[in-house]
Structure 1
Amino acid sequence: MHKDTDFKNPPRRRIGALAIIRDREESVLLVKKAYKEGRSWGLPGGAAHANEAPHDTWAREIREETRLERVPGRLLVVDYVSYSEVSGAAEGINLVFDGGTASGTEIRLPEHDDGEPEITGFTFVPLYKLSDFVTPLTEKRIRAAVAVLEDDFSSVYLAEGRPLTYG
């Protein structure tokens, strides 16, 4: 019996879906997020809406932030993140999926009619320069995901028990 867990009213948690997209030189795509201070660069992607599956979140966020139309490739990293007293962000998990390759000419910044844009820039960054752009946590996440890609570790992502179809 799980008396300490209420399945009808679970604790507040967030789900993030992020992409590793690389160019032909294997540099990683980073986007500049206007709402962040300091090292405001990060992987494209973001938080799931209520009742939105992680693979749908991923596709929506990648489309919104880069204008790329993609489905997520294989799941590379699941990263648990605890509650942040500094930002107030709820605990949760970030799922990092392979987003394939792209060139700078394929990516377009989002258009915003109302107020400030969420994404104000993008760049491809080689791994040895990551610390100039991202926080230590984000750098660890990126390096772990790239290691899975390069060492060809296998993982599977299922949607309601079934593999995603591509095509």
Structure 2
Amino acid sequence: MRPTPADPEAWNAYLAEGNATQARKRVAADVILRNADGDILLVKPTCKPGWDLPGGMAEDNEAPDDAARRELREELGLDLPLQGLLVVDRVPPHGPWDDQIAFIFDGGTLDHDQVAAVNPQDEELSELAFVHPCRAGVWLRDRLSRRFDAAIAAIVTGRPRFLRDGQPTMP
């Protein structure tokens, strides 16, 4: 017999068992940051090849937007409010990785002083560059490039995008 909320101890044990057996998703949270010219900030991680958007992986039970802001503070020394959600991408299993949910948030435009002061703050990043949006896709891996293009489209239209492996699922 299934416990009911009328027996809180048994009910919580029942829910905890279900929680322990349900799938958990990895969560990535990246941020689009622009300078006054509209160029996009890209970072070069030391833990993987190529260039990336600022951001990273969420920690246990951390909200995606909190993860994005934490990563900006840790890696770039930036403490910024986010301007909104641009993209949610369901990424299927690939290589050794299970599936994940990848978010891109709008970090807005950095002022001249912020641009001048931004530098890698820890060993996770080796370089950074501001790149024109039309050229950023060449710098990014295919999957991230598609997600980036959707994020730029979301900025233009003011409408967040839902993707599956970088591909739009809705018009």
Alignment TM class, shorter chain as reference: 0.7 to 0.9
Change (3 A) 1:131 1:96: closer
Equivalent position to 1:84, from 86, 94, 99: 94
- Aligned match of 1:16: 28
| Structure 2 unpaired stretches of 5+ | 1-17, 162-171
Distance 1:15 1:125 in 2: 26
2:112 equivalent to 1:106: no
- Aligned match of 1:33: 45
- Aligned match of 1:67: 77
Distance 1:72 1:93 in 2: 18
Preserved contact between residue 12 and residue 90 of structure 1 (Cα < 8 Å): no
- Aligned match of 1:54: 64
Q: Superposition RMSD on alpha carbons, in Å?
A: 1.7
Distance 1:48 1:18 in 2: 10
- Measured against aligned partners, the alpha-carbon deviations of 1:28-83 in whole angstroms (never above 9, x if no partner) come to 1110011112xx10110011111111121111011112111013221111011111
Distance 2:68 2:160 in 1: 20
Equivalent position to 1:143, from 145, 149, 168: 149
Partner letter of residue 153 of structure 1? R
- Measured against aligned partners, the alpha-carbon deviations of 1:107-151 in whole angstroms (never above 9, x if no partner) come to 12113xxxxx11011111112212431112111111111111112
Partner letter of residue 85 of structure 2? L
- Aligned match of 1:163: none
| Structure 1 unpaired stretches of 5+ | 1-5, 112-116, 156-167
- Measured against aligned partners, the alpha-carbon deviations of 1:83-126 in whole angstroms (never above 9, x if no partner) come to 112xx122111111100112531312113xxxxx1101111111
Distance 1:95 1:32 in 2: 19
Partner letter of residue 11 of structure 1? A
2:129 equivalent to 1:118: no
Aligned-pair identity in percent equals 33
Distance 1:51 1:138 in 2: 24
Distance 1:106 1:10 in 2: 44
TM-score of the aligned structures, taking structure 2 as reference length: 0.76
Q: Find the residue that maps to 2:48 and give its secondary structure.
A: coil
When the two structures are aligned, how many residues end up with a matched partner? 141
